[in-house]
Amino acid sequence: MWKTAKNKEPTTNRRCFSIVHQYIQRFNEVSGGKSAVIRVKSMTPGVTITQHVVNIPEGKSTPDFESTPMSENTKEGKVAIFKVVVKGDPKPEVTWRRAKGPITDKDKFHSKYDESTGEHILEIVKVSGAETDTYKCYAANEYGKAVCKATLTVIEDSNHPSDFRKLLRRSKEKPGGESDERFWQAMLKADKKDYERICTEFGVSDLHLILKKLEEKKEERAHNNYQDGTTAYDENGTEGHSFSSGGRTKNSNLKVMQKGKGLHQEDEEVHLFNTGRDLTDEEAMLLSTELIFSTVDFVIKIQELKAQEGDDALFACVLTHPLPKITWTGKGSTLEEGAKCSITVSDHKLIHRLLIKDCNSLDQGIYSAVAGVKSCSAWLVVQAESDPASAGMRRARKTTVASGAPIDLEKIAVEQQIKKREEMEKILAAVKAKHKEGQVAAMDKKSEGNSIDNTLDNSGCATREGGKRLGKPKNKKRMRSGQMDFDKVTDSNEGDFQDDDDFTGSVKKSKNRKHGQNGEHEQMEFDQTETSAESQNDVADCDGNKDSRRQKHRKKAHRKRRTYAREDPNEPTSEDEASYSDESEDSLDQHKRSRRAKQSKMLKKVNGESTCPEEYSGYDEIEGITGAPTHSRRKRRGPLTEDVVIDIGVHFICGLSDVNAVINETAELTCKLSSEDCEGAWFRDGKKISPDHNFSVTNDGAIHKLVIIRCDEEHSGKYRFEADGRKTEAMINVKDPPRFNHADLKAFSEPVTVKAGHNAIFKLQFLGHEPVKIKWYSEGEELLDDNNTKIEKSASHSRLLLSRCQRRDTGEIKIKLKNEHGFIEAISQLIVLDKPTLPLGPAEVTEGSAICIEFRWRPPKDDGGSPVINYMVERQQVGRNTWKKIGEIPGIPSYRDTDVDHGRKYCYRIRAVTAEGTSEVMETDEMQAGTLAFPGPPAPPKVVSAYDDCVNISWAPPSNTGGSRILGYVLEKRKKGSNLWSAVNATDELIKEPPGKVSNLKVTESSYSHFVLTWTKPEDKPEIQDEAKGYFVEIRPAECLDWSRCNPTRIITTSFSVKGLKSMNMYWVRVIAVNDGGESAPEELANYVLAIPSPVRPKFTNHKMKSFMVVKAGNSVRITVNFEASPWPHVMWIKDNVPVTKRVTITNSDGSSQLLIPSSERSDSGIYSILVKNLAGQETFSTEVRVTDDPKPPGPVVLEETVPGTVTVIWEPSPDEKRDDRLHYTVSKLDFTKGNWTTVAEKLFNNKCTVCNIMPGREYHFRVYAENDMGVSAPSESPTCWKEKKKEKRVVSIPTRKECDLRCAPTFIVPLKFHAAPKGYECYMSCAVKGNPKPRITWYRNHISLNTDTNYYISNTCGVCSMLVLRVGPRDMGEYTIAAENALGRAECSTVLTVKE
pLDDT 10s digits, 1046-1063: 998 889 899 999 998 988
Residue 1155 pLDDT greater than 90, yes or no:
yes
When pLDDT is averaged across residues 1307-1333 and rounded to a whole number, the result is: 91
Identify the CA nearest to 683 among candidates 649, 717, 734: 717
pLDDT grade, residue 574 (50/70/90)?
Answer: very low
pLDDT grade, residue 24 (50/70/90)?
Answer: low
Residue 530 pLDDT greater than 70, yes or no:
no
* CA atoms of 247 and 530, how far apart (whole Å): 9
Provide the pLDDT for residue 1331.
92
Q: Which of 9-18, 170-179, 775-784, 1130-1139 has the lowest mean pLDDT?
A: 9-18
pLDDT grade, residue 205 (50/70/90)?
Answer: confident
- From edge to edge, which strands make up the β-sheet containing 1055-1058? 999-1006, 1011-1016, 1055-1058
Q: Which of 267-281, 373-387, 1374-1388 has the lowest mean pLDDT?
A: 267-281
Query: Hey, what's the torsion of the CAs at 418, 421, 427, 430, to 10 degrees?
Result: -80
Q: Is the dihedral of CA 360, 365, 370, 374 positive or negative?
A: positive
When pLDDT is averaged across residues 951-963 and rounded to a whole number, the result is: 79
Q: Which of 201-215, 1056-1070, 1256-1270 has the lowest mean pLDDT?
A: 201-215
What percent of the chain has pLDDT above 70?
A: 72
DSSP structure string for 98-156: ESSS----TTTEEEEEETTTTEEEEEE-S--GGG-EEEEEEEEETTEEEEEEEEEEEEP
Q: 1365 has which bridge partners?
A: 1323, 1352
When pLDDT is averaged across residues 586-607 and rounded to a whole number, the result is: 39
H or E segment and range at residue 707: strand 703-708
Q: Is the dihedral of CA 551, 553, 556, 561 positive or negative?
A: negative
DSSP structure string for 888-900: EEES-SEEEE---
Residue 438 pLDDT greater than 70, yes or no:
no
pLDDT grade, residue 43 (50/70/90)?
Answer: confident
* CA atoms of 148 and 146, how far apart (whole Å): 7
Identify the CA nearest to 361 among candidates 399, 331, 394, 404: 331
* CA atoms of 1317 and 546, how far apart (whole Å): 108
When pLDDT is averaged across residues 109-134 and rounded to a whole number, the result is: 89
Cα end-to-end span (Å), the chain: 62
Top-confidence residue, 1030 or 724 = 1030
C-beta separation of 1275 from 1264 below 8 A: yes
Q: Which of 576-590, 906-920, 966-980 has the lowest mean pLDDT?
A: 576-590
Provide the pLDDT for residue 520.
38
Query: Hey, what's the torsion of the CAs at 1039, 1043, 1048, 1054, to 10 degrees?
Result: 90
User: Residue 1255 to residues 223, 1225, 1231, 1259, 1358: CA-CA distances in angstroms?
Assistant: 99, 24, 10, 9, 16
* CA atoms of 898 and 903, how far apart (whole Å): 13
When pLDDT is averaged across residues 845-857 and rounded to a whole number, the result is: 85
pLDDT grade, residue 197 (50/70/90)?
Answer: confident
Residue 1209 pLDDT greater than 70, yes or no:
yes
When pLDDT is averaged across residues 605-614 and rounded to a whole number, the result is: 37
H or E segment and range at residue 218: helix 207-228
What percent of the chain has pLDDT above 90?
A: 25
* CA atoms of 676 and 703, how far apart (whole Å): 8
Provide the pLDDT for residue 1348.
84
Counted residue by residue, the chain has a size of 1397
* CA atoms of 566 and 733, how far apart (whole Å): 49
Identify the CA nearest to 1390 among candidates 1327, 1304, 1318: 1327
Q: Which of 218-232, 410-424, 692-706 has the lowest mean pLDDT?
A: 218-232
Top-confidence residue, 268 or 1394 = 1394
Q: Buried b vs exposed e over 903-920: b needs ≥16 C-beta within 10 Å?
A: eebbbbbbbbbbebeebe
Provide the pLDDT for residue 405.
55
**pLDDT tens-digit series, residues 1081-1122:** 899 998 888 888 878 889 898 878 888 888 888 899 999 999
Residue 808 pLDDT greater than 70, yes or no:
yes
User: Residue 1300 to residues 1114, 1297, 1303, 1304: CA-CA distances in angstroms?
Assistant: 59, 9, 9, 12
Question: Which 3-state string (H, E, C) describes 867-887?
Answer: CCCEEEEEEEECCCCCCEEEE
C-beta separation of 1267 from 1193 below 8 A: no
Provide the pLDDT for residue 57.
87
Amino acid in the structure at residue 594 = S
* CA atoms of 487 and 459, how far apart (whole Å): 8
Residue 1033 pLDDT greater than 90, yes or no:
yes
664: left (phi over 0), alpha (psi -120 to 50) or beta: left
What stretches of 234-346 show up as alpha helix (H) in DSSP? 281-290
**pLDDT tens-digit series, residues 865-885:** 899 999 999 999 988 888 999
Residue 576 pLDDT greater than 50, yes or no:
no
When pLDDT is averaged across residues 164-183 and rounded to a whole number, the result is: 57
